[in-house]
Structure 1
């Protein structure tokens, strides 16, 4: 009995949270678009071809309404949605798109929620953590952290996610929430800012009929409190279809079964039957099925004769707007939800939380420790007192320089290509500055990068019988850490510049191999015309520093390499650490400017 009471209490609390959140005032935005066209230029081998993606699209949607963009794959639904949401290059757009009778402005970024077709979420964060970070980054600065987190809790209850709020989102290799719950988390990420406009691209894709109906009902509930909702949908059931207030058909859409000529299953207008009979008599097919061209012609004619004039008159009607609503929408000032420092701190914490699972997976720990044990056994208590023994140890030190140069490069390559979709999505919503993201992303790896090398050296250093003093051990550790951060910078730069994993991996393989060969162990005397390569090699500088740490006070030259002060090597590694990262940042900035052009 008490259990039933508890459940009832939870339901009441959930409904209360939902009501509190949904009754918050929303800035009403009336969206109109007239004769919208969009073309792309396709470059061929010998010439360029212009292709129409959208041609003469007209419509309007008001606060409190749900507009559905319906059509087959490739009909331009997503393109139109991106245009209306301000996410495509405006210079190639024809026609007019207005928000409260004003053109698109940067202010609208903070008033628009945009749910992409693909669920772009971090797999290792829980539902609650995902929404908490979104709230802290996107909600206005005037709210305290407690108020922002309270908003995230309200959204969790509003969308019925309270039972899975402590469950990881999951992904390809991580078990997590269901598809419907993932979609609701994506919607929650957007409605958390109480948007005036909510765009959704195929929100029912991959969902069963019951979950799809629940999702569309959620959109209807969102619209009822004064929000303007626009969604694309491919092939809705009749139950879903009746949930929409308005409909736009795109790309020669032949209304499902009617398009396939299944006349026995549906009612066909008499005018279309006449056209079909006439067409069949002319072609002598007599199969009773309307050709697609006939259906398309009928739909266009019916729209032009019965609907077009009425709809265009509605578009010309004045909107119930005052000057204040117009001036708010036309503001060009961006509204950040947090200061630069707050953005950095939030993204830093999120980065550590998301990536600690990958860094400390059993596979990676086993890889590092097994390598350390094998090295320790091969160089077990090696002798540093003889020339032969020092040469053996020099080989061990060079392997350390290669291993901790190779490993971070190929880990860092994946960083930006894998997060490209997330970066694009969050930057399009003005969640944070690119500089805050970049610095947080590159520094949140540093604490994680230090732990495994420390474990590695703790195992192998003493097994190999190197110099047993705290200063020698910590200087060796510092040298390895400099190598890791420099190599990581190279991986970040290659990944950010190419943004393609196959090409990036190929370039990194050639570069790392070249740096290894020029690292001072395999070739002692490099020809003058190519000797400059070794000074670009972090393996070379790391190897020289490790030799210096172990042997500088014993002998000035080991294995043909001088053990000087080491300042040049440290300076070179530090220059690589900052130089490669600066190149990566410039590449990301160029990519972002190209997307926003």
Structure 2
């Protein structure tokens, strides 16, 4: 079995605070999300971050995982082997998000293999990386479904528990020193959730440090954790061994009045719910269950303040020091942790080729779906029948309307396919870039070029149907020139869609803007309006429909007449240059928009 070097990692966090700025209509205020959180987790331990919704546990997890380390609203210290966070740590940290962000049409084996090729050290060969993916499949018990696609909302695939194990496999494939998980049991049944937590135990026992948020675990799950951080309204209510938490709260006068799950009892405390909880004698006159909302809220605040103060005053400093006592570390290990150098698992070209292959495998299902093929073939057939063997010997028989429709159809179609590209992949891009799986430039080039061979198939099928049915100019030369012109139009239109999608990153807004833009370009395309007022004539030259239409007219009627329907046929060089400029210009705009997104810094 292939082994990957893994170093022990001690995570300590002391007096951590975090604030967010809330801007209102008339004023701006700061809201405290975390208030002085302190704790420590060592190799071989599983630390659970618990608390009700809105208590700050996911914020704390992101902060400890280095995802909020550059925020100006962050206070306190977080150290890894007694050193601050550095970019080199990304290659030693695994972070499993709450939502399983995976490509639906890739199989389990393909998903893990691509992760291995991109994330494992460049010192390993391709065969060794592939072998590591197979090993992880076996470790996670995914052999039965390794050739099954992941699936999604509209695509049937593996089960929810298997999806979660694949998400964890994506992270443990690099044999991380630190593994963070956000609600790994969310949405799973109790048996599947128990298997996931048992797997986390096994991962920790292998020498890794595991930190996970968990909302309301069953009693069986709760007893699997080594340490516990309990948060209430952003404050620390308890940090210590999970097995000692009930004894601690009993010592400060808080006991369950009913036999209940310890996790349920702790969440009641964190929420300020005292219905089934005994309260200390000093609080009996201050807190009691009332009917009014204001009275209930006041009771919760008083009880929460009592728990915070109790932890600060009654937990001996000696005990806190014992929990936070650092383990002596080799100086060489400290130097490795503090190294500022970012470590890529593959060269730029390797990243590009891997992402290119992954892109084709993932999107070929959408491109060649029966719905899309039927749409293209049906449209081509209808056009062929409407312009069946048109007589081109006279001006009345010219297929100018058909050529304009081709220019519009293959301008409209790619735009509304491409605008969803980056908004739909934003979650994947954010997750993978946060882990430094690849450079943004490699992803962008692979994403935009992997569509090109797929984009060529349907237009060829379209033209094979409509070209000969409509009786367009016969000959290999005119046919291939028509094909090249349509392909240029597609790539230019696709660039516009990518630019709109990347700049807005919102599907509704992008669709609205694209609709207005495409309609404007179509109207200025040279078929409906021949004389455009001077002050808006520039729109025509920005329209890929206009340039495509002129090129198609040139290919079909260059030797018959110099002007068709008010559109002059010239050399075509200007139109080709304009389309090529759009191909690169729109893509450059899309790339700049992605760079400006606050995903994660990186070249």
Give me the TM-score of the superposition, normalised by structure 2: 0.91
Q: CA deviation at 1:25?
A: 4.6
- Of 58, 63, 88, the residue aligned with 1:78 is 58
Q: Distance in 2 between matches of 1:509 and 1:126?
A: 35
Q: Does 1:67 align with 2:53?
A: no
Which residues in structure 2 correspond to 1:158-237 (within 5 Å)?
Answer: 158-237=139-218
Tell me which residue corresponds to 1:320: 328
Q: Deviation of residue 305 (structure 1)?
A: 3.5
For residues 515-553 of structure 1, what are the alpha-carbon distances to aligned partners after superposition, in whole Å with 9 as ceiling and x for unaligned? 000000001111111111100000000000000000001
Match of 2:281 in 1: 274
Equivalent residue number for residue 304 of structure 1:
312
Counterpart of 1:383 in structure 2 is 391
2:498·2:586 contact (CA, 8 Å) conserved in 1? yes
Per-residue CA distance 1:10-51 (angstroms, 9 max, x = gap)? xxxxxxxxxx46x75521111111110111111112221111
In the alignment, the residues of structure 2 paired with residue 48 and residue 284 of structure 1 have an alpha-carbon distance, to the nearest angstrom, of 33
Q: Displacement of 1:295 after TM fit? A: 4.0
Distance 1:282 1:206 in 2: 32
Higher helix share: 1
Check 1:74–1:180 CA distance in 2 against 1; reply closer, same or farther (3 A cut).
same
Unaligned runs of at least 5 residues, structure 2: 238-264, 293-297
Alpha-carbon separation, structure 2, partners of 1:137 and 1:311: 44
| 1:317 to partner: Cα distance | 3.0
**8 A Cα contact 2:40 2:324, kept in partner:** no
SS in 1 for 2:22: strand
Q: Is the 8 A contact 2:120 2:129 kept in 1?
A: yes
Q: Is the 8 A contact 1:32 1:315 kept in 2?
A: no
Instruction: Kindly report which structure 2 residues correspond to 1:63-462, keeping only aligned pairs within 5 A, or say none.
Output: 63-88=43-68, 89-252=70-233, 255-257=266-268, 260-263=273-276, 272-275=279-282, 277-279=284-286, 291-293=299-301, 295-307=303-315, 309-314=317-322, 317-390=325-398, 393-462=399-468
| Deviation (angstroms), 1:596 | 7.8
Alpha-carbon shift at residue 278 of structure 1 (Å): 3.7
Specify the SS of the correspondent of 2:72: helix
Conserved 8 A contact 2:4-2:174? no
CA distance in 2, matches of 1:532, 1:282: 71
Match of 1:507 among 513, 517, 521: 513
Q: Cα deviations across residues 223-266 of structure 1 (Å, max 9, x unaligned)? A: 11111100000111111111111111112477135554453xxx
State the distance in 1 between where 2:290 and 2:562 align.
Answer: 97
Equivalent position to 1:51, from 31, 40, 43: 31
1:487 corresponds, among 471, 490, 493, to 493
Q: Report the CA distance shift for 1:111/1:230 in structure 2 as closer, same or farther (over 3 A).
A: same
- SS class of match (2:98): coil
Distance 2:319 2:192 in 1: 33
Which region of structure 1 is more displaced relative to structure 2, 197-206 or 585-594?
A: 585-594
Confirm or deny that 1:29 pairs with 2:9: yes
- Unpaired runs of 5+ residues, structure 1, are 1-19
Taking only aligned residues, the RMSD between alpha carbons, in angstroms, comes to 2.3
Q: Find the partner of 2:472 among 466, 470, 478.
A: 466
Secondary structure of 2:232's aligned partner = coil
- SS of 2:597's equivalent in the other structure is helix
* 309-318 vs 534-543, greater mean Cα deviation: 309-318
The 3-state SS of whatever aligns with 2:213 is strand
Alpha carbons 2:39, 2:324 under 8 Å: kept: no
| Distance (Å, rounded) in 2 between the aligned partners of 1:110 and 1:404 | 43
Sort the Cα spacing of 1:300 and 1:474 in 2 relative to 1 into closer, same or farther, 3 A. same
- Whether contact under 8 Å (2:288, 2:299) holds in the other structure is no
Report the counterpart of residue 258 of structure 2 in structure 1.
none
Quick one: structure 1 residues 282 and 240, their matched pair in 2 at CA, closer, same or farther if it must change by over 3 Å? closer
Name the residue aligned to 1:540.
546
Match of 2:262 in 1: none
**1:59–1:338 CA distance, 2 compared to 1 (3 A):** same
Q: Normalising to structure 1: TM-score of the pair?
A: 0.91
1:583 maps onto 2:589 in alignment: yes
Matches of 1:534 and 1:24, distance apart in 2 = 59
Q: Evaluate the alpha carbon distance shift between residue 137 and residue 447 of structure 1 in structure 2; reply closer, same or farther with a 3 A threshold.
A: same
* Shift, 1:368, TM fit: 0.6
Quote the Cα distance in structure 2 between the aligned partners of 1:122 and 1:71: 31
**Offset, 1:556:** 1.4
**Deviation for aligned residue 1:557:** 1.5
Residues 410 and 489 of structure 2 are in contact (CA less than 8 Å); yes or no, is this contact kept in structure 1?
Answer: yes
Could you report, residue by residue, the CA deviation over 1:360-381 in whole angstroms, capped at 9, with x for unpaired residues?
1111111111100110110011
Distance 1:25 1:148 in 2: 14
The CA deviation string for residues 103-161 of structure 1, in whole angstroms up to 9 with x for no partner, is: 10000000000000010000000000000000000001111111001100000010011
Partners of 1:364 and 1:488 lie apart in 2 by 17
Question: CA 1:375–1:311 in structure 2 vs 1: closer, same or farther (change >3 Å)?
Answer: farther
Rounded to whole Å, the distance in 2 between the matches of 1:221 and 1:109 is 22
C-alpha distance 311-192 of structure 1, shift in aligned 2 (>3 A): farther
**Matches of 1:248 and 1:315 in 2, distance apart?**
12
Distance 1:127 1:316 in 2: 40
CA offsets per residue over residues 403-446 of structure 1, 9 Å max, x none? 00001001000000000010000001000000000000000000
Call closer, same or farther: CA 1:257–1:590 in 2, change over 3 Å: closer
CA distance in 2: counterparts of 1:33 and 1:127, whole angstroms: 36
